[in-house]
RNA sequence: CGGGGUGUAGCUCAGCUUGGUAGAGCGCUGCUUUCGGGAAGCAGAGGUCACAGGUUCGAAUCCUGUUACCCCGACCA
């Protein structure tokens, strides 16, 4: 395209008058009012022909692609890897990415948030001001410009938005405000993997809201919760919003949005009957309903194989005071390190006691014996409720059976220490917990004043006093959503896009397109009809053997396929198959348009 | 950063142990026949065997170093 640089490109609706050699434009030219661009080529109709679209599929499973979404994105020709964690989006993949982006944008706009765009490159000063220049690890990619001034590539934009806010917003009357952007992020992940699922460079929607008080923040937070729910619903994904740990970004209150898929990296627990849902990292394990039973037998040292009774395991952690603390759980339960890290008795980055530590402390490994009364013990509720239990011995050595709290061991501090397991009582009291795998695609936080205080972002309140604003932040991993959608929607033949994400809604698959005039005419006519009612269509004019063409269209996951052949055309029919259906069906040519229109516009749920 | 693995044709891989100047399948180009589920025949194109150094008459192959990518652990949307 040769857009004449001296002129604005005409808006699409006005193209005609500029292009017409005889119409208004020449009059206008004569009148000397508007100089049309010289000989702009006619606007090209966006016919999507497979032969011109660079479909680039492969049969082989690419080496080094572990997850299904990564394999399928490579096989379907959606992405190509440039370097570790860096991907090019090919035309097919970009169409899907844009679909996600557009739905996110529409719903954010609808929520009242305002789109802006911030730089990827950020000056170190802001990060020094917030303290994160030092806090953030090596995943913050730092570099210097030609003047030796330090910069970083933005992994997130709290500093930049807070800086913008403090320069722009003066009065509480301008609040609340919620700014968002859809922008490339860079995190120098230690180990990028799973394709765009965990890339170093990725596309993210991040929003930041500003408020004078917590109530106002709460309202926007709820609005974002509802907005995210709308977004993932519109995307056609099976998802859940769960309570979450607020992680390193800090803050008090947060929800994660997970796309459910067996390959997900996170475990999420949710109530079978109630509304409770939480990341397993955070899910509360209720104490057993029944109190501890009384001891019934004496403690005895026995061989490991002969011990009867419930067993416990002990995790020795370094305490804040430098002495070991034993964390006791039932053997069938696993330690929740997030919960453990929050215990005031333990050192803040959790650290296991090493053999060297024991030696330095002048103590033998207590796994070789029962801990004495001077050893600090913290037990999980479930372990604390045991009686006559088995205490572990040293490797193959003897164990202690018939052990009881208070009699053979000091009464422990009792807390929630373990990961929940399926069948646990739900913390909301309704039903029991189930556990599913999820892929985190969204996260909403109440940040509080962490950044606004550090960067001194204040507004004047009603009383004319300066007040530090309180903030929320709301992220969606846009590029990750694409991969997550595939993890959730695929079969042995390839991708099965939810309609909202599909790169094309309909594929036309003519047989003998270049040989049969009847097929070509019928196909072109159908193409034009579909396009005129706004359906996105891919016309596979590659004249491939049917098997190859079908396999390609199924691999790339187009939801609806119409096969046009002389055989069915002679009976006035075409063949229709939905991607998620097992079999095709014959449809009268006259019925195909209404059929597709109803398939593409399902009634509101 | 630890631990492990792999770099050979566009893709997936053999060849390396035992050194002798590089192969298969798929894909790609041309022609012919085929044409409703990844066709067949014929003819072709395509590789400084990741890079550098060394050993050797001779290195994809043996040695040393470097580098890239992948997998397992701590980070994260």
pLDDT score, position A245: 61
Closest protein CA to C1' of nucleotide B11, residue: A60
Q: What is the pLDDT of residues A582-601, one digit of tens each?
A: 999 999 999 999 999 999 98
Q: What is the pLDDT of residues A151-203, one digit of tens each?
A: 999 999 999 999 999 999 999 999 999 999 999 999 998 889 999 999 999 99
Which nucleotide has the shortest C1'-to-CA distance from A189? B75
Rounded to an integer, the average pLDDT of A236-244 is 91
pLDDT, chain A, mean: 87
In angstroms, the CA of A65 and the C1' of B61 are apart by 28
CATH number corresponding to A91-282+435-486: 3.30.930.10
In angstroms, the CA of A101 and the C1' of B28 are apart by 36
The larger pLDDT score, comparing residue A323 to residue A255, is at A255
Q: What is the pLDDT of residues A467-518, one digit of tens each?
A: 999 999 999 999 999 999 999 999 999 999 999 999 999 999 999 999 999 9
Topology agreement, domain A91-282+435-486 and domain A300-415: no
Which nucleotide has the shortest C1'-to-CA distance from A245? B76
* Whole-complex ipTM: 0.94
pLDDT score, position A138: 86
Which nucleotide has the shortest C1'-to-CA distance from A543? B35
Cα–Cα distance measured from residue A165 to residue A162, given in angstroms and rounded to the nearest whole number: 5
Cβ atoms of A76 and A494 closer than 8 Å:
yes
In angstroms, the CA of A104 and the C1' of B75 are apart by 26
In angstroms, the CA of A50 and the C1' of B17 are apart by 49
- Helix or strand (DSSP H, E) at A242: strand A239-243
In angstroms, the CA of A200 and the C1' of B52 are apart by 30
List A259's β-bridge partners, or say none.
A239, A439
Confidence of residue A339 (pLDDT cuts 50, 70, 90): confident
User: Domain locations in chain A?
Assistant: 1-44, 91-282+435-486, 300-415, 504-600
In angstroms, the CA of A9 and the C1' of B48 are apart by 49
Confidence of residue A42 (pLDDT cuts 50, 70, 90): low
Closest protein CA to C1' of nucleotide B35, residue: A545
Closest protein CA to C1' of nucleotide B6, residue: A64
Please count the helices (runs of H) and the strands (runs of E) in chain A.
17, 30
In angstroms, the CA of A465 and the C1' of B71 are apart by 58
Rounded to an integer, the average pLDDT of A280-292 is 89
Residue with tokens 């009291």: A429
In angstroms, the CA of A67 and the C1' of B71 are apart by 12
Rounded to an integer, the average pLDDT of A203-231 is 96
Q: Do the bridges between strand A376-380 and strand A413-415 make them parallel or antiparallel, or are there none, so unpaired?
A: parallel
Residue A20 has pLDDT above 60, yes or no: no
Cα–Cα distance measured from residue A2 to residue A15, given in angstroms and rounded to the nearest whole number: 15
Which nucleotide has the shortest C1'-to-CA distance from A552? B38
CATH number corresponding to A300-415: 3.90.960.10
Cβ atoms of A281 and A435 closer than 8 Å:
no
Which nucleotide has the shortest C1'-to-CA distance from A515? B35
Cβ atoms of A180 and A115 closer than 8 Å:
yes
Radius of gyration of chain A (CA): 31
In angstroms, the CA of A190 and the C1' of B70 are apart by 14
Q: What percent of chain A has pLDDT over 70?
A: 89
Question: Of A183, A424, A483, which Cα lies nearest the Cα of A284?
Answer: A424
Rounded to an integer, the average pLDDT of A51-70 is 93
* Domain spanning A504-600, CATH class: alpha beta
Which nucleotide has the shortest C1'-to-CA distance from A249? B76
Rounded to an integer, the average pLDDT of A548-577 is 97
Which nucleotide has the shortest C1'-to-CA distance from A191? B75
| Main-chain dihedrals φ then ψ at residue A309, nearest 5 degrees | 110, 170
Which nucleotide has the shortest C1'-to-CA distance from A257? B77
In angstroms, the CA of A544 and the C1' of B42 are apart by 21
Bases of chain B with protein Cβ within 7 A? 1, 11-13, 25-26, 34-39, 68-77
């Amino acid at each position: 395209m040769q857009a004449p640089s001296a002129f604005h490109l005409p808006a699409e609706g006005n193209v005609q008058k500029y292009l017409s050699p005889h119409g208004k434009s020449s009059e206008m030219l004569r009148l000397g009012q508007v100089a049309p661009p010289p000989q702009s080529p006619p606007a090209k109709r966006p016919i999507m022909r497979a032969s011109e679209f660079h479909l680039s599929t492969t049969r082989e499973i690419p080496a080094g692609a572990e997850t299904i979404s990564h394999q399928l994105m490579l096989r379907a020709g959606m992405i190509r890897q440039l370097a570790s964690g860096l991907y090019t989006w090919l035309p097919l993949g970009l169409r899907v990415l844009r679909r996600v982006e557009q739905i996110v944008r529409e719903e954010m706009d609808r929520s009242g948030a305002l789109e802006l765009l911030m730089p990827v490159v950020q000056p170190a000063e802001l990060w020094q001001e917030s303290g994160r220049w030092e806090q953030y690890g090596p995943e913050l990619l730092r570099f210097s410009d030609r003047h030796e001034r330090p910069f970083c590539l933005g992994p997130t934009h709290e500093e930049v938005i807070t800086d913008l806010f403090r320069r722009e917003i003066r009065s509480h009357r301008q609040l609340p405000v919620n700014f968002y952007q859809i922008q490339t992020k860079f995190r120098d992940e230690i180990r990028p993997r799973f394709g765009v699922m965990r890339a170093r460079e990725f596309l993210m929607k991040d929003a930041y809201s500003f408020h004078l008080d917590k109530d106002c923040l709460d309202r926007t937070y709820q609005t974002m919760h509802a907005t995210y729910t709308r977004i993932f619903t519109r995307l056609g994904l099976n998802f859940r919003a769960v309570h979450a740990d607020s992680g390193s970004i800090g803050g008090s209150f947060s929800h994660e949005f997970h796309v459910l898929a067996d390959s997900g990296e996170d475990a999420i627990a949710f109530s079978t009957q109630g509304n409770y849902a939480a990341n397993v990292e955070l899910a509360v394990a209720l104490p057993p309903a029944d109190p501890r039973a009384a001891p019934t037998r004496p403690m005895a040292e026995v061989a490991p194989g002969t011990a009867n009774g419930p067993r416990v395991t002990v995790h020795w952690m370094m305490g804040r005071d430098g002495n070991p603390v034993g964390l006791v759980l039932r053997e069938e339960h696993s330690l929740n390190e997030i919960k453990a890290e929050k215990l005031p008795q333990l050192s803040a980055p959790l650290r296991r006691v090493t053999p060297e530590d024991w030696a330095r402390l002048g103590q033998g490994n207590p796994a070789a014996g029962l801990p004495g009364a001077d050893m600090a013990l913290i037990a999980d509720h479930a372990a604390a409720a045991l009686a006559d239990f088995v205490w572990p011995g040293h490797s193959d050595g003897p164990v202690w059976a018939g052990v009881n709290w208070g009699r053979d061991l000091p009464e422990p501090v009792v807390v929630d220490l373990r990961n929940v397991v399926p069948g646990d009582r739900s913390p909301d009291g309704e039903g029991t917990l189930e556990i599913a795998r999820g892929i985190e695609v969204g996260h909403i936080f109440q940040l509080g004043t962490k950044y606004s205080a550090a960067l001194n972002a204040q507004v004047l309140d009603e009383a004319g006093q300066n007040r530090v604003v309180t903030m929320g932040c709301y992220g969606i991993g846009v590029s990750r959503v694409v991969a997550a959608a595939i993890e959730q929607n695929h079969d042995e033949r390839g991708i099965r896009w939810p309609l909202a994400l599909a790169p094309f809604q309909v594929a036309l698959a003519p047989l003998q397109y270049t040989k049969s005039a009847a097929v070509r005419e019928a196909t072109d006519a159908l193409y034009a009809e579909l396009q005129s009612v706004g359906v996105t269509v891919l016309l596979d004019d590659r004249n491939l053997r049917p098997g190859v063409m079908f396999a390609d269209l199924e691999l790339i996951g187009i939801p609806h396929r119409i096969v046009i052949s002389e055989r069915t055309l002679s009976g006035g029919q075409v063949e229709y198959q939905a991607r998620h259906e097992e079999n095709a069906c014959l449809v009268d040519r006259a019925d195909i348009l209404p059929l597709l229109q109803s398939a593409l516009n399902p009634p509101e749920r």
